[in-house]
Structure 1
Amino acid sequence: MASDDGNTAINNDQVEWVPLTLTLVEYPKGDIIGKFLALISLAPFGIGSGFIALILFRRDLHTITFFLGTLLSELLNYILKHIICEARPIRRDIIYVEYGMPSSHAQYVWFFATYVIYFVYIRLQHMNNNTIIQSLSKFLILFSTLSMAILVSISRIYLEYHTVSQVLYGALLGFLFATFWFAFTYLVLAPLFPQIVSWSISELLLLRDTTLIPNVLWFEYTNTRKEVHARSRKLVSMKSQ
């Protein structure tokens, strides 16, 4: 037993423990601003998780194509990184991709922000019956998405994961690819959605198309209220019998 325990101890000493590099973000110890920006730079992972949750629970084709666009943007970024092969400002042993041009974080958040702005100002013609509330809602969406994109971009420079040029080119690529993808979705894919949702596999997966509904939140809210009211009346009627 003693020898077995000794072997176990030796084997454990030989194990090299490494962090999950995909989510690890380093910042200067004791730097409050650096810590805040390190947390902000994790925004793409939160956005990705939100996409997965929306797709699982809403099954909307436009959400799926939006998410597909982010994946294609990341693929483009990965290819460009390995074509350009420009190093990051400082070398880190714990990092997902050693190259820094263009910044994948900047490209991701600016793709997301640009697409959301197009979606709100072009796709959502009527968000609310009250024009003041509608204008305020659009402003808040615009302000929050742009603020997030700007802060993430600043964080990549401040934490020395990227140079200024790497972040600017990433932001430009994100903007351009989001413009292309929104136009492609709006003009080419969206007209095909009614046909796609009629497929057997789409019905099996409960996929739906809400393109023609101007305000999805209001539509779902009013229809849920009607359904609950109808079921409540039916339940009361059954109890009275």
Structure 2
Amino acid sequence: MLAIIGGSGLTQLATLDLIRREVVRTPYGEPSGALTFGKLCEKPVVFLARHGYGHTIAPHRVNYQANLWALHNAKVDAIISVASVGGIRADLCPGTLVVPDQIIDYTWGRKSTFHESSDEPVVHIDFTEPYDDGIRQRILRAGAAAGEKVFDGGVYAATQGPRLETAAEINRLERDGADVVGMTGMPEAALARELGIPYAAINVVANYAAGRANSTNRICFDEIDLVLREAMGRVRKVLDHICEA
């Protein structure tokens, strides 16, 4: 069963044929909300709104451990994360869909592992390739089938939030090799890897990052809302084609 984690702009799946909602208790506290079970194109899917169904949970306050444990407990066999990002690279303009292949983690203070007990050995995971390439290819094929342009590859910079970055910080991220910037990619991807769940992401460029193009002096939040409303409709088309395949 496929799991979809929805971020800003995707707090529900309009095309999901709802079956049930399930409140899950976890050893790590409360997930962001109930798991929504249903079908997309007759395929079983579970959906979780990362920021809560009312978009009330800030990126640094998301209980990533509880979210991933709840999906693992539901026996999902893959996770697709949908998240809005800022475009650093000039060709990644607002509305662009990106399937990243690398991460740089700038977050701090988040619960980033399930292996924190002093009673168990230290656990290391191989994170050379943070996204599962099989799931990435499924997304890319679905994008082509849906007639939607999807960029293959990119480096996602995970920042702490909830504030957006300064122009100088974006310059630094660019020097570090980042192409897009968001606030929720970590530790979500690492926790999925610890649980052995194949994980990949669809990034939706909501705006140019600070200091870039029409965000040179300020970022217009009204424009972000308009971009996400249109772009998430295209994301839903891609998700439908993933389930049709």
Same fold (TM over 0.5): no
Larger radius of gyration between Structure 1 and Structure 2: 1
Name the structure with the higher strand share. 2
TM-score, length basis structure 1: 0.24
Q: Name the structure where helix makes up a greater proportion of residues.
A: 1
TM-score (norm 2): 0.24
